[in-house]
Structure 1
Amino acid sequence: MDFAFDARTEELRARLLAFMDEYVYPAEQVAHEQRARLASPWETPPVVEELKAEARRQGLWNLFLPDAEYGAGLTNLQYAPLAEITGRSPQLAPTATNCAAPDTGNMEVLAQFGDERQKKQWLQPLLAGEIRSAFAMTEPEVASSDATNITTHIERTSDGADEYVITGRKWYISGAMHPDCQIFIVMGKTDPDGPDIRRQQSMVLVPRDTPGVTVERAMQVFGYEDHYHGGHAEVVFDHARVPVSNLIGEEGGGFAIAQARLGPGRIHHCMRLIGMAERAIELMCRRAVSRTAFGKALAQQGVVQNWIADARVQVEQLRLLVLKTAWLMDTVGNKGAHTEIQAIKIATPRTVVGILDRAIQLHGAGGVSQDFPLAELYAGARTLMLADGPDEVHQRSLARRELKKYL
């Protein structure tokens, strides 16, 4: 068993680490200051565009796509340590390298299921970082942890116009507030009374400027608006009409496409979460050696030493599980890695939330302030216990698979 990264991964890691040190970390404060001067909170700070240009110049672009025709052609195992590095600055680094959700998942959907026209019109500008996108699945009126519950209608017109009419309400639609968001991938029901509940859904491409599409409001996450990722919005589709040619794949294929999209998305989140945990450990250590309480450096306090030791052990465990999952996805496919994908989705967010919680505690009042990234990292990590399926859904499925061996 060889735990070493291959030569290409090591070379990209070195370049990405240097990019983070030279460009990304110094830009964090700059972006914060620039955002305060923007006319709209959803505009992109100029430094972000500078980072994107530099990342593209250095070849640190579209690293997430395993398809060499569209992306870097890296395997999941090769991409894992790179995504971890970008997770250390989740507000800037993924966007700078064009590896930010929800665009990554949408690009994967278009690359895998889109036709040539859809790829030319939407995938190519997304790959170039010229536009942004959103994925509209979650709904406020139903338990969206069960995707078969969605109620948005995608109905074929009967007037000979060869169009779909989309009617429904979505919320927490990531990326929808970004001024460059030009396309929604919308999941709804084309066959609501079909006998197979997993063949009732389809996905269609809906341009943002389609009449009947209204972005009603921004949704906050623990009080944060997640500006860098284009925010999260409540969106209404009121008899919005699009050509039938905007269907992705086939009618009834929406549920399967969603599962294909969410598998890589889940592991990408977990990769970046490990980077967030590493950033938290670094901040804990720097704080511990620089502050004194009750006559001793915090680093000499037993409880602080325990926190740091436990965090290191937990991160090493998570990293091995994520790398194993990435390897399985590469070798036996997403279905073959189903158990491990669910395991990392359960284990990684809750563990990283615990590490961030202790880091915040160690920083005292500073930990919950805007002077350190910990509070925002905590909000992001805690949200991932819900995003891409609540932990309890994955626990239910994983337990059933284990119990099946004994029935």
Structure 2
Amino acid sequence: MPIEFEADERAAQTAARVTEFVRDVVVAEEQACDGVLHDGPEPLRRRLQQAARDAGVFSPHVSPRWGGLGLDLRGQAVVFEAAGYSLLGPLALNIAAPDEGNMHLLEKVATEAQQERYLAPLAAGDVRSCFAMTEPTGAGSDPRALTTTATRIPGGWRIDGRKWFISGADGAAFTICMARTSGAPGDAGGATMFLVGADNPGMKIVRNIRTLDEGLFGGHSEVLFDGCEVSDDAVLGEPDRGFDYAQVRLGPARLTHCMRWLGIAVRAQEIALDRAATRSAFGKPLDQLGMVQQLIADSEIDIAAARALLWQACWELDQGRTGAQQTSIAKTFVAEAVHRVVDRAVQICGALGISADAPLSRLYREVRPFRIYDGPSETHRWAIARRASKARAAVR
């Protein structure tokens, strides 16, 4: 079956509306706060999301039942890229991490009662959420290192452990917590996902972590689960199947991250092109100088290649396939390509590029961590090579 590298009409029209909305409304809001959102005010989020509702582009990824447009991943690719042009675009459309990935997981795994309690307000933008998996001891890239435990108690479970770099935790109404329920750290064992309300006395934010990036609403926090008791109806899916459900969430979430960051690359390239056309050196506009033309061309290549790899991975998942290899390839390439594009834009713009007079220095700080988030490039390369070797061995 051939891969279709073209969005359907509905997705294309939505992307066009998002492009207009982001450039006319959202960019001005970003400039007003310099894209610094770790301590972003709640009225800003509410104002942006209401504007997105008015523009008809709110929650395009969730099903119509929950007020969305129900776009498949290829449709999301063009819409999320358009939203990612501004650091506040995904927040405005309610497609920012970690909420977007949590909505996908809740639609796929949660019970009807859990969907009404957690998904409905999340899809409506009434609340925010977080996903607590990463730990100081190493669980993150290697889920087998998970040390947070959940043990049976009468009528439910007790969760104990420490999480960190939990994005969006500050101000979140609930978290989806990954805890080990069988086996020991270092082996496969079993993990379970739990829905934990922010008002649970056994869960508390220890600190908000200062990071290179500052564009995610709610920042990144260290979270302690200390005798955190939850009832049986807090279990998301089935006990001991948390690692399986993590893949349900993480595969598409890696791609949606790529979509949003690709929008940043497009913006950086536009800034570089405008600067190169209006700035002269040695008697010529920069865009007529060979070395600058090479930088521009390489960024065009990176953007086109990133988009193609992203679409291939989206197509695989839309066909119901696991897409593990394509997802890892896309995530690794896009994360590094976006960084290269922004870096070249800074170089083309020179002193302006590293100043606060242009958004490039802010974009540069935001995209660098992407080579770590959702699995560092090294982990994905290891997985890519392992799958390739396994596939080759199967045909020898």
Shorter-chain TM-score above 0.5: yes
Matched, 1:404 2:394: no
- 2:272 aligned with 1:284, yes or no? yes
Picking from 149, 167, 174, the partner of 1:174 is 167
Residue in structure 1 matching 2:133, options 110, 132, 137:
137
- Residue aligned with 1:315, SS: helix
Q: Distance in 2 between matches of 1:5 and 1:283?
A: 26
1:68 deviation in Å?
3.7
| Matching residue within 335, 352, 377 for 1:366 | 352
Could you say which residue in structure 2 is the equivalent of 1:53? 50
Q: Structure 2 CA distance, aligned partners of 1:143 and 1:295?
A: 56
User: What residue number does 1:24 align with?
Assistant: 26
Distance 1:214 1:45, change over 3 A: closer
Structure 1 stretches of at least 4 aligned residues deviating more than 3 Å after TM superposition: 1-4, 45-48, 196-199, 293-296
Give SS of 1:69's match: helix
Q: Does 1:81 align with 2:86?
A: no
Residue 53 of structure 1 aligns to a residue whose secondary structure is: helix
- Alpha-carbon contact 1:16-1:85 (below 8 Å) kept: yes
Gapped regions of structure 2 (runs ≥ 5): none
Bigger RCO of structures 1 and 2 (CA < 8 A, at least 6 apart): 2
Q: Determine the structure 2 residue equivalent to 1:11.
A: 13
Helix, strand or coil at the partner of 1:406: helix
Distance 2:260 2:40 in 1: 24
Indicate yes or no: 2:64 matched with 1:64.
no
- Partner in structure 2 of residue 353 of structure 1: 339
Q: Distance in 1 between matches of 2:203 and 2:357?
A: 38
TM-score by length of 2: 0.92
1:220 aligns with 2:210: yes
CA positional deviation for 1:63: 1.1
Instruction: Check whether the contact 1:225–1:232 (CA below 8 A) recurs between aligned residues.
Output: no
Cα distance 1:60–1:401, how it changes in 2: closer, same or farther (>3 A)? same
SS of 2:371's equivalent? coil
Q: CA 1:75/1:387 → structure 2, altered by over 3 Å: closer, same or farther?
A: same
Provide the TM-score with structure 1 as the length reference. 0.90
Shift of 1:3: 4.1
- Once the two structures are overlaid, the 10-residue window that deviates more, 278-287 or 393-402, is 393-402
Mapped to 1, the partners of 2:326 and 2:320 lie a distance apart of: 12
Identity of aligned residues (%): 37
Structure 2 counterparts to residues 117-136 of structure 1, below 5 A: 117-136=113-132
Which residue number corresponds to residue 390 of structure 1? Answer: 376
CA–CA distance in 1 between the matches of 2:117 and 2:5? 41
CA distance in 1, matches of 2:210, 2:341: 23
- 1:205 equivalent in alignment to 2:195: yes
Q: Is the 8 A contact 2:133 2:139 kept in 1?
A: no
Q: CA deviation at 1:192?
A: 3.1
- Within the alignment, does 1:190 sit opposite 2:186 as a pair? no
Q: In 1, are the aligned partners of 2:5 and 2:311 still within 8 Å (CA)?
A: no
Distance 1:365 1:230 in 2: 31
Q: Secondary structure at the match of 2:173?
A: strand
Of 96, 110, 115, the residue aligned with 2:111 is 115
Deviation of 1:5 (Å): 2.8
Aligned partners of 1:135, 1:313: CA distance in 2, in Å? 34
Q: Find the residue that maps to 1:139 and give its secondary structure.
A: coil
Q: AA paired with 2:276?
A: A
> Which consecutive unaligned segments of at least 5 residues does structure 1 have?
none
C-alpha deviation, 1:43, in angstroms: 4.1
Quick one: distance in 1 between partners of 2:165 and 2:121?
Answer: 24
Question: Retained in 2: the 8 A contact 1:30–1:47?
Answer: no
Note closer, same or farther for the CA distance 1:405–1:212 as it changes in structure 2 (3 Å cut): closer
The question of whether the paired residues in 2 share the 8 Å contact of 1:174 and 1:233 is answered with yes
Distance 1:391 1:63 in 2: 29
Query: CA–CA distance in 1 between the matches of 2:224 and 2:356?
Result: 33
Specify the SS of the correspondent of 2:332: helix
Displacement of 1:198 in angstroms is 3.6
1:240 to 215, 228, 252: 228
- Number of positions where the alignment pairs a residue of Structure 1 with one of Structure 2: 390
Any conservation in 2 of the 1:165–1:241 contact (CA below 8 Å)?
yes
Cα distance in 1 for partners of 2:384, 2:231 equals 40
For the residue of structure 2 that corresponds to 1:154, the secondary structure is strand
Instruction: State the alpha-carbon separation in 2 of the partners of residues 8 and 301 from structure 1.
Output: 41
1:379 aligns with 365
Residues 31 and 45 in structure 1, CA contact (< 8 A), matched pair in contact too: no
Q: 1:184–1:206: 8 Å Cα contact kept in structure 2?
A: yes
Quote the Cα distance in structure 2 between the aligned partners of 1:115 and 1:199: 24
| Separation of aligned partners in 1, 2:150 and 2:301 | 48
Deviations 1:35-86 (A, max 9, x none): 89xxxx6242644422211211222111123x34333111111111111111
What does residue 290 of structure 2 align with? 302
Aligned to 2:327: 341
For residue 300 of structure 1, report the CA deviation from its aligned partner: 2.6
1:94, 1:100 within 8 Å by CA — same for their partners in 2?
yes
Letter in 2 for 1:398: I
For 1:221 and 1:365, the matched residues in 2 are separated by 24
Deviation at 1:213, TM superposition (A): 1.6
Contact 1:218 1:225 in 2 (8 A): no
Please report how far the alpha carbon of residue 294 of structure 1 lies from its aligned counterpart in structure 2 after TM superposition. Answer: 4.0
